[in-house]
Structure 1
């Protein structure tokens, strides 16, 4: 086995960001290891040696296990036996119940975890067919352990089985649980919301969640042989067989009522909410969460437009509230430019509904949890309309399909399930999820076929995120099907199995290497890592538009239209609708709009932020001559017909130069311009700021110097 290199020698065009992407790490880690501060992060010299983190090239998963008892308390110093990589290992955890990290060489061989109980026997508490890639924490609950203090047996004492205590508690307290306000099945009362005629604004969301009513714990103490008492605290809440952490007990009543309303099980709904919710340090689902980089807000982190779209579904509590408050017969929605708005309808009268008070309902858990269930049902309806027998699925299966559809989008989920995912699309998605290096390694185990590797990863990821058993007090032997088995049951394509990974013999570690690693295979520039410092044109062929204009000059930047009296904020590059657009440099998509049916303004668009130091020297100097203090430059693509679904993430997505972002179209005020002859084009801008971008030229600069090449018709 070759030793792992821990250094990299800088080549022409390299940047620290590019090196971090190639070696599956991050800029701050590299900066810390190499004592780079401030501008030093962006000024590298050819031949400079960059120290890399300790490589774990052969490790698929680095796993930390947290062991809890039935009441979600950490079990001190848990004793576990693990089976992974075709071998066994016994470990003892910390006082906080933490075991690991455990380095798993082959995630595809799965994991079994046994917990050593008081009687010295091992009980199987977890079994995973495959593990997720990367660094993960696995929280396991021993449903046979309900303890306080030390769980190990001290000399001279014996333990009373916690199962006996639990049975006694349940006999004397048949359905103990924490009551949740309100006690009715309807969502909590809220101020009337909606119409443009409303005179009172909606109340701001509460800054703190209501304090739950806490029951007195049931305490049982028995004297055992040896004279020492064994105490068990039996705060076990069993209503609906729903197992929740103490921090989330306040949501029990809502989960029970909402799951019944939508014909789900409370365990399936709880698993879905837990996967989607923003969480506080205590593990509590944060009802007042607000993303800093997107409009996502509330317990289930709904984006503005998605929340408003759910409000138009008659099954949602928000829809029912709007109708009840204002007497609407229907609540419908429509796109206006790149904005989605809703309106109420009574007879033939349409009334615009103000968005702000409706969006504020995201901070009320009753509406937020209900909306998550309805959104899942909307996606299931789409899949059912496409021929999948969703009705035949068990509730725990539906929860997994709901999550899959939320992760991929309903159309993307359908492609994966039906085995219709293209190789090109899969090759774009997998690196986004696991990093370029691990994606290439995983695809290699499928003979280089990303279209097989991505569903395999996605199904295993879904299985790791959604497990209804974690939310059941008594699973009674329930073993939910894997997502792969569910796909097969839907007459879809089960995940292919990867080839066995050769586990190398251990070799002594190395601290340095005289020979730096070779550039990435398939790199667009063999002299750089991943083509860093290169610029790519936004279209494969860049020709300035002429159709429908007085001249090609009218499609360039500046006051170039209507006899030099009207501004044009970017350039128009001639293109038929459906032409692929590309990321011009390594960067991050920070904003986008899917207003594909809009007939005004820019329609559907993508905004890409690029670190100035990731531009080639020529363009970097050109930009810094005017904006020496700017750290980023922004590239704007408008009038699109398609946008890569993977870009629609709350915190944006990093992309590499040349990555397909979407396709040109005729959205916005380019309506009808579907071919080059009809004026079809990509509107492309370069911006030096993201705020105060208006109708003039403010915040913008000429894009032509940022094109690698272009044709200017006469």
Structure 2
């Protein structure tokens, strides 16, 4: 049986052939590849047997190894320390104990290997808890236990039984341990867990934002699970990057490079926690929900938004009274205005809207940088989770209203359906979202949109897979992308209570 290789991003047929010591021609012939410059990510290639021994390339062009970082957490999302773990890779077993962060040493294996993970129970038996397929150069897997282990000496209380009932305690942060006694006087340790809860809301590493999510739901009439799903799709997450030595699995020693120095690989560990300090290096997008300068200022100027209420309270957004002539009579009117730090007011002009004035020079002097202290304070609210989350909800509801005003039929949609439309309109913008729903996006626009998301090569592959049609290619990619991104049930303690959520394609058909 021929050896197989799964094409990775950036691979070429020439590099793959060189890495395996075979000819490019034989590789293309065996896999019936007519255009040797066109292979796609994820394509499985059969590797032909070597006919002649080719001198190996130093260093090897394609690194087939992958890194796996395992972290073990308890039901309170806290690291489990000192647990015995067994990891089986390609028939070889490694045993470790978790450290204070709940991690074991990083595992090196071949890509596409399936790593079997077992943990040792208190009884001494081993229990299989996960299987992880290494499909990426670096994979970080968080394995969560449904239990919490606590060190305690359980001694029977010999005093009188408890006869009075105490008031129900206030909710405690996840992981809080409280010492209480049962009705017969025995000691009990209570651990505050996230699930179950009244709202049926699961946030995992983002439990710290629970109160903000619930309040935003009550304010907007949108279910907290839908808001959490939108946030999970839109928010940048905190990622830890480290460089670790590559260990030779046979010698168990660090592998050396051509220069004689230990090889290292980049290990990226995504915590899953939303990053309130996220900042784009390519634009002015900032905060959890990556609002651009102009979009954020626009939301602040919109009456009724959460951000507008704060801006008015601070006195940044106000009005200026003026007198105009209507029907030859003087009439006093109030015009929206922005109050600068020096007390002067900025208003729209005859040709330029206020948001445009505040979003350009001399007021915006660089990405996320304002010349005025009040405007800078407003922009910096993007870094505050409460404002980032509520503004994302307000923006989404405004886009839903924009769809409804254009005669799209939104009545009767579940919040899960609406969450997909909110993400679609946030991703494309309201105008292009309407065209996407009506399937009227032009081929040139579809090509630009798809290329911006996946790159020119992958965009060409999507088009090729859809009859060389960029509209169909873009549509196929985006429908699948939104369906994967917006997962309502993932944010529920009990998903059996979830209302049915349709695919984005079904939703777009239903509302036209």
Residues 1:269 and 2:227 are matched in the alignment:
yes
Partner of 1:341: 357
Length, aligned pairs only: 361
Residues 1:176 and 2:171 are matched in the alignment:
yes
Q: Aligned to 2:356, what secondary structure does the other structure show?
A: strand
User: Residue by residue, what CA displacement relative to the aligned partner does 1:154-195 show, whole Å, maximum 9, x if unpaired?
Assistant: xxxxxxxxxxxxxxxxxx9787343xxxxxxxxxxxxxxxxx
Residues 1:298 and 2:287 are matched in the alignment:
yes
The Cα of 1:135 is off from its aligned counterpart by 7.8
Corresponding residue to 1:406 among 420, 426, 431: 426
Partner of 1:311: 300
Q: Aligned to 1:476, what secondary structure does the other structure show?
A: helix
Residues 377 and 138 from structure 1, CA distance in 2 versus in 1: closer, same or farther, beyond 3 angstroms?
farther
Partner of 1:251: 209
User: Distance between the aligned counterparts of 1:77 and 1:442, measured in 2?
Assistant: 45
User: Distance between the aligned counterparts of 2:179 and 2:488, measured in 1?
Assistant: 28
User: Distance between the aligned counterparts of 1:121 and 1:476, measured in 2?
Assistant: 27
The Cα of 1:141 is off from its aligned counterpart by 7.5
User: Distance between the aligned counterparts of 2:86 and 2:439, measured in 1?
Assistant: 42
> Do 1:271 and 1:466's aligned partners in 2 also have CA atoms closer than 8 Å?
yes
Residues 1:54 and 2:75 are matched in the alignment:
no
Partner of 2:24: none
Q: Aligned to 1:287, what secondary structure does the other structure show?
A: coil
Partner of 1:240: 199
TM-score, reference length from structure 2: 0.54
Partner of 1:6: 15
Residues 1:471 and 2:483 are matched in the alignment:
no
Partner of 1:489: 510
The Cα of 1:446 is off from its aligned counterpart by 2.2
User: Distance between the aligned counterparts of 2:109 and 2:285, measured in 1?
Assistant: 32
User: Residue by residue, what CA displacement relative to the aligned partner does 1:296-325 show, whole Å, maximum 9, x if unpaired?
Assistant: 223322211000111122221221233344
User: Distance between the aligned counterparts of 1:251 and 1:394, measured in 2?
Assistant: 24
User: Distance between the aligned counterparts of 2:383 and 2:119, measured in 1?
Assistant: 42
Residues 71 and 303 from structure 1, CA distance in 2 versus in 1: closer, same or farther, beyond 3 angstroms?
same
User: Distance between the aligned counterparts of 1:266 and 1:102, measured in 2?
Assistant: 41
Q: Aligned to 2:228, what secondary structure does the other structure show?
A: helix
Residues 291 and 441 from structure 1, CA distance in 2 versus in 1: closer, same or farther, beyond 3 angstroms?
closer
Which consecutive unaligned segments of at least 5 residues does structure 2 have? 6-12, 19-36, 42-56, 88-92, 113-117, 151-166, 182-188, 240-270, 320-333, 338-346, 360-371
User: Distance between the aligned counterparts of 1:262 and 1:486, measured in 2?
Assistant: 21
Corresponding residue to 1:437 among 422, 447, 457: 457
Bigger relative contact order, structure 1 or 2 (CA pairs below 8 A, ≥6 apart)? 1
User: Residue by residue, what CA displacement relative to the aligned partner does 1:631-663 show, whole Å, maximum 9, x if unpaired?
Assistant: xxxxxxxxxxxxxxxxxxxxxxxxxxxxxxxxx
Residues 218 and 450 from structure 1, CA distance in 2 versus in 1: closer, same or farther, beyond 3 angstroms?
farther
User: Distance between the aligned counterparts of 1:250 and 1:338, measured in 2?
Assistant: 36
The Cα of 1:454 is off from its aligned counterpart by 1.6
The Cα of 1:374 is off from its aligned counterpart by 1.0
The Cα of 1:397 is off from its aligned counterpart by 1.9
User: Distance between the aligned counterparts of 1:302 and 1:354, measured in 2?
Assistant: 18
Residues 93 and 120 from structure 1, CA distance in 2 versus in 1: closer, same or farther, beyond 3 angstroms?
closer
The Cα of 1:378 is off from its aligned counterpart by 1.9
Residues 265 and 306 from structure 1, CA distance in 2 versus in 1: closer, same or farther, beyond 3 angstroms?
same
User: Residue by residue, what CA displacement relative to the aligned partner does 1:39-82 show, whole Å, maximum 9, x if unpaired?
Assistant: xxxxxxxxxx99995399xxxxx9999886643357889999xx
User: Distance between the aligned counterparts of 2:39 and 2:198, measured in 1?
Assistant: 49
> Do 1:146 and 1:232's aligned partners in 2 also have CA atoms closer than 8 Å?
no
Q: Aligned to 1:341, what secondary structure does the other structure show?
A: helix
Residues 295 and 436 from structure 1, CA distance in 2 versus in 1: closer, same or farther, beyond 3 angstroms?
closer
User: Distance between the aligned counterparts of 2:496 and 2:170, measured in 1?
Assistant: 18
After superposition, where does 1:289-438 map in structure 2 within 5 Å?
A: 289-326=278-315, 328=319, 331=336, 336=352, 340-341=356-357, 355-438=375-458
The Cα of 1:276 is off from its aligned counterpart by 2.4
Residues 23 and 136 from structure 1, CA distance in 2 versus in 1: closer, same or farther, beyond 3 angstroms?
farther
User: Distance between the aligned counterparts of 1:273 and 1:255, measured in 2?
Assistant: 9
TM-score, reference length from structure 1: 0.41
Q: Aligned to 1:379, what secondary structure does the other structure show?
A: helix
> Do 1:311 and 1:318's aligned partners in 2 also have CA atoms closer than 8 Å?
yes
Residues 55 and 427 from structure 1, CA distance in 2 versus in 1: closer, same or farther, beyond 3 angstroms?
farther
RMSD, aligned α-carbons: 5.5
> Do 2:175 and 2:191's aligned partners in 1 also have CA atoms closer than 8 Å?
no
Q: Aligned to 1:280, what secondary structure does the other structure show?
A: strand
Bigger shift: 266-275 or 281-290? 281-290
Q: Aligned to 2:411, what secondary structure does the other structure show?
A: helix
The Cα of 1:371 is off from its aligned counterpart by 1.0
Residues 1:216 and 2:176 are matched in the alignment:
yes
User: Distance between the aligned counterparts of 1:428 and 1:52, measured in 2?
Assistant: 35
Which consecutive unaligned segments of at least 5 residues does structure 1 have? 10-20, 26-48, 57-61, 81-90, 105-114, 127-132, 150-171, 179-213, 222-230, 344-351, 492-714
User: Distance between the aligned counterparts of 1:101 and 1:67, measured in 2?
Assistant: 20
Partner of 1:605: none
User: Distance between the aligned counterparts of 2:288 and 2:178, measured in 1?
Assistant: 31
Residues 77 and 477 from structure 1, CA distance in 2 versus in 1: closer, same or farther, beyond 3 angstroms?
farther
The Cα of 1:393 is off from its aligned counterpart by 1.9
User: Distance between the aligned counterparts of 1:139 and 1:487, measured in 2?
Assistant: 35
The Cα of 1:426 is off from its aligned counterpart by 2.3
The Cα of 1:122 is off from its aligned counterpart by 10
